Structure 1
Amino acid sequence: MEHNVSLSFTIVTYNNQDKIKNTILSIITAVDDVFPYKIYIVDNESTDKTLEIVKCIKHKSIEIVASENRGFGFGHNVVLNRLQSTYHFIVNPDIQIKNSQSLQIMINYMNENPNVGLLSPLILNEDGSIQYLFRNQPTVLDAAIRFAGKKILRKRQEKFINLESGYNHILPIENASGSFMLVRTDIFKAVGGFDERYFMYYEDTDLTRKINEISSAMFVPTASVIHSWERANGRDIRYIWIMLQSLYKYMHKWGWTLW
């Protein structure tokens, strides 16, 4: 076990009975006997068997926290004052850490780069293909063409996701994905965690920007995780409306950038 480094993980759940067990077990497999750690499962009023499944995973490092469903960022902030770790992981309930080697790469990078406050790894689909989440700060135009299809203003869309980078270089990141983030716990606390005004969407963009103001955020593709991505906003008008509200809040807070 490595000394002087401890880890914490927060998974905010809402009706994730099909995926939550694999996510938790992947963390335990990657971390056990390597680092001291704590896994917080913050449940946002699930109505399926999510909590029942979590309770069946009897492990001393798991703590279940009940929360009212006030959004993704609020859920992660519920445990903010409890965190005593060196590094904190923000994890979606549909993520799997590939192995202990990937985790060790992330920890080593943070240990060797004390100026870095946030690390975003390479995020892969279950078939091993890349999810293009190495993104720039959004503009209204970028948000609009997101719904227009991949063929509309294709070069602009490729620029937004930094496709020319090849996704094989360590580079600064402006807009990390909240599906999986590694943050220094003291930096996460210093910026006040997530802005709870966002119910869903853009809270990860906002957090990246806040962290970049006092340290730096980096895309580190030498480490990777697997994400069973479901684009809820593409299927349901309710999620589109939530996204538009969050975009407004983000632009109102940071300044309107049209293109």
Structure 2
Amino acid sequence: MRELTIMIPVSSGDHFEVSTSVVVFRPDRALLARTLTSLAEAGAALRRSGNEGTIHLYLINNGGLPDMAESLAALSRAGVSHTLIDGHGNVGYGRGHNLALAQPLGRFHLVLNPDIDMHPDALAQAVEFLDAHPEVGLLTPAIFDDAGELQYLCRQYPTLIDLLARGFLPTSMRRLLARRLARYEMRNQINVRDMLWDPPIVSGCFMLFRSDVLKRLSGFDPRYFLYFEDYDLSLRAHDVTRVVYVPAVRVLHHGGGASRKGAAHIRMFAASAFRFFNRFGWKWL
């Protein structure tokens, strides 16, 4: 691995209310700019809510980061400080986020995808909830797609059939397995009104942790290069804290599945699935 470069380092004496890490590898510049803009707006709303804590962004460049000087300058003007972590090469999604965990963190740490738009009050709502519920160490929001439809990204423990059907079968064939996929995606429990306590697995596109909980878990398992690192971390989180789905916290997710990203992603998906099932147990049907 190449030498790690940390630009605009922060000291251990700096205090943040919320730190956040965003890992990028050849990101879509427009989507990343929208993510950073939404982070700035969410930070402003957090301060307006009476919270005086600041937000700090760790932007981890696994490769191919375009010129984001304008967006980062706008973040600074909005009171969101940032650190660029660079020079380490493409170490994978989980290991990239773990690089931020070696830096000073806020009371809460947000694991965030570079294709997420947060509702302006998302962080304010989330911090307010966590302050009111000290037993909760991991919060997941209501996640919507580009069409404004709710995405069912809280999951039951998967079977191999669930993963193959959900990830790779055409829509016409998935309809034949609609009932089992609805169970896997918790469609009878996830909605835009009701909180859900302790969903087994939550999405890694937005995971808001108490930082002490995340450090106790040692972050992501570095053996996953891409895919299933959030499944692994979710299951381990239940050993030390409570997990909650809070639909009042809302984000927009522009992401897509592995099958739509080509053969290399399918191979990484399969390798990570094998590692996940070997660790937590195989369920076929």
SS at match of 1:49: coil
Paired with 1:212 and 1:256, the residues of 2 have a C-alpha distance of 19
* CA distance in 1 between partners of 2:162 and 2:202 (Å): 15
Report the Cα distance in structure 1 between the residues aligned to 2:241 and 2:255, rounded to whole angstroms: 29
Instruction: State the partner residue of 1:127.
Output: 147
User: 2:284 maps to which residue?
Assistant: 258
SS of 2:284's equivalent in the other structure is coil
Separation of aligned partners in 1, 2:139 and 2:72 = 30
Q: Which amino acid aligns with 1:19?
A: L
Q: CA deviation at 1:154?
A: 0.9
Question: What corresponds to 2:9 in structure 1?
Answer: none
SS of the residue aligned with 2:276?
Answer: helix
Q: CA deviation at 1:83?
A: 3.1
Correspondence for 1:158: 182
Q: Could you say if the C-alpha distance between residues 58 and 86 of structure 1 is closer, same or farther in structure 2, counting changes exceeding 3 Å? A: closer
Partners of 1:75 and 1:109 lie apart in 2 by: 28
* 1:169 aligns to 2:194 (yes or no): yes
In structure 2, how many angstroms separate the alpha carbons of the residues matched to 1:18 and 1:223?
23
Q: How does 1:1-259 map to 2 (within 5 A)?
A: 6-16=17-27, 17-32=29-44, 33=47, 34=51, 35-46=53-64, 49-51=66-68, 57=74, 59=76, 61-66=81-86, 67-100=88-121, 102-146=122-166, 147-148=168-169, 149=171, 150-167=174-191, 168-171=193-196, 172-259=198-285
Cα distance between partner residues in 2 of 1:9 and 1:109: 18
Could you tell me which amino acid in structure 2 is paired with residue 18 of structure 1?
Answer: A
2:144, 2:151 within 8 Å by CA — same for their partners in 1? yes
The amino acid that maps onto 2:108 is: Y
What is the CA-CA distance between 1:140 and the residue it aligns to? 1.3
Structure 2: distance between partners of 1:77 and 1:235? 25
| Structure 1: unaligned runs, 5 residues or longer | none
Overall identity of the aligned pairs, in %: 27
Does the 8 Å CA contact 1:12/1:93 hold for their aligned counterparts? yes
> Which structure 2 residue ranges, 5 or more long, are not aligned?
1-14
CA distance in 1, matches of 2:131, 2:213: 14
* Higher deviation after alignment, 36-45 or 148-157: 148-157
1:12–1:76 CA contact under 8 A, matched in 2: yes
Shift of 1:22: 1.2
Decide whether the 8 Å contact of 1:43 with 1:51 is kept in 2.
no
Distance in 1 of aligned mates of 2:189 and 2:75: 43
Q: Does structure 1 retain, via aligned residues, the 8 Å contact 2:22–2:58?
A: yes
CA displacement at 1:152 relative to structure 2: 3.0
Residue type at the aligned position of 1:36 = T
Asked if 1 retains the 8 angstrom alpha-carbon contact of 2:152 and 2:190, the reply is no
Aligned counterparts of 2:115 and 2:208: Cα–Cα separation in 1: 16
- Displacement of 1:153 in angstroms is 1.1
Q: For structure 1, which segment, 234-243 or 85-94, has the greater mean C-alpha deviation from structure 2 after superposition?
A: 234-243
Contact 1:145 1:152 in 2 (8 A): no
* SS of residue in 2 equivalent to 1:15: coil
State the shift of 1:137 in Å: 1.5
Deviations 1:205-238 (A, max 9, x none): 1010111111111111121111112224334111
